[in-house]
């Protein structure tokens, strides 16, 4: 009896070896580069179109010109007005975010662990959350004046509700069986919070902290626009009062840069918080 070994479609010896994952990484990397190039081209085309149409198709008083905006930014940078007012706005954002986020997490845990009190206060909290924050600005001016404190508090209030509501939502997702088991094993309240409630609610807490970052900017700028003598919002109002459209756009450009930096921070935190999501943990 004879036997034969049959080989179908044998690859050549010198055929390239495909490593799974390498091509996918190259494709993703190439796509990211392409997207970046297209974004830059879109920005360049928009600026060029703006420069060419301003003063011809649309009045300069309404849209200014990129060159005029650049000159205004340069003048503010040389005089120090850009840096000093930008730093004021950044301080309002950072301090307001720190106070609002800290209070939101602390009160979220405090009320969620006392469910009767949480049920009593829930409609009042939701009612306050529904109030447009810009409507609180005149009241805060009466209480705190037009200085740094008013803008910080307005930013903190804006951040507080987002962090508070996401914290309470995260705590509600903690498995009650785990809490009961920890209590049966004699866990104290601090141990229960640190070992069970905090890890189980971390996805909600981090989500609240992440999405509240841009709202700190919104709260601070709203306060500056309503009443202020410093900050980028003040530069916008001051430029608008003198019909300096280039100044308005220049201040908006500075705010856009700050918002872009905050958005980058949000994206970094988003990748970090994704690891705490239940769906990811179950994979």
Collapsed DSSP state (helix, strand, coil) of residue 4: coil
- Assess whether 148 and 202 both reside in one domain: yes
In a domain, 51, yes or no: yes
Last residue in a domain, options 60, 83, 115: 60
Distance (Å, rounded) from C-alpha 69 to C-alpha 65? 6
Average pLDDT score over the chain: 80
Q: Closest Cα partner for 204 from 94, 112, 86, 95?
A: 112
CATH number, domain with residue 134: 1.10.3720.10
User: In this prediction, what percent of the chain has a pLDDT beyond 70?
Assistant: 84
Give pLDDT, residue 24: 62
Last residue in a domain, options 37, 60, 83: 60
Q: Closest Cα partner for 68 from 96, 86, 47?
A: 47
The answer on pLDDT for 20 being more than 90 is no
Q: Report pLDDT digits (tens) over 182-197.
A: 777 776 777 777 777 7
User: How many Å from the N-terminal Cα to the C-terminal Cα in the chain?
Assistant: 53
Q: Closest Cα partner for 203 from 264, 282, 146?
A: 282
Collapsed DSSP state (helix, strand, coil) of residue 113: coil
Q: Report pLDDT digits (tens) over 223-260.
A: 888 888 888 999 999 999 888 999 999 999 999 898 88
**CA-based Rg of the chain, rounded to a whole angstrom?**
27
In a domain, 3, yes or no: no
Domain range for residue 39?
26-60
């Amino acid at each position: 009896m004879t036997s034969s070994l049959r080989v179908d479609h044998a690859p050549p010896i010198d055929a390239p070896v495909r490593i799974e994952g390498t091509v996918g990484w190259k494709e993703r990397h190439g796509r990211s580069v392409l997207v970046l190039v297209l974004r830059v081209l879109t920005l360049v085309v928009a600026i060029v179109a703006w420069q060419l149409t301003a003063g011809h198709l649309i009045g300069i008083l309404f849209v200014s010109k990129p060159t005029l905006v650049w000159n205004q930014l340069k003048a503010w940078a040389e005089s120090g007005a850009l840096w000093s007012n930008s730093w004021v706005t950044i301080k309002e954002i950072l301090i307001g975010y720190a106070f609002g986020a800290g209070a939101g997490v602390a009160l979220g845990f405090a009320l969620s662990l006392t469910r009767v009190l949480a049920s009593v206060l829930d409609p009042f909290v939701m009612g306050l959350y529904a109030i447009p924050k810009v409507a609180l600005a005149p009241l805060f001016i009466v209480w705190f004046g037009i200085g740094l404190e008013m803008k910080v508090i307005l930013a903190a209030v804006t951040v507080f509700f987002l962090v508070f509501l996401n914290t309470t939502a995260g705590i509600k997702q903690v498995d009650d069986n785990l809490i009961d088991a920890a209590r049966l094993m004699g866990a104290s309240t601090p141990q229960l919070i640190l070992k069970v409630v905090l890890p189980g609610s971390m996805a909600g807490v981090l989500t609240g902290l992440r999405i509240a970052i841009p709202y700190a900017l919104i709260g601070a700028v709203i306060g500056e626009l309503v009443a202020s003598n410093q900050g980028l919002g003040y530069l916008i109002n001051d430029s608008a009062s003198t019909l300096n459209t280039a100044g308005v756009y220049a201040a908006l450009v500075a705010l856009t840069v700050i918002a872009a930096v905050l958005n980058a921070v949000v994206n970094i935190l988003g990748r970090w918080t994704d690891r705490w999501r239940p769906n990811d943990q179950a994979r």
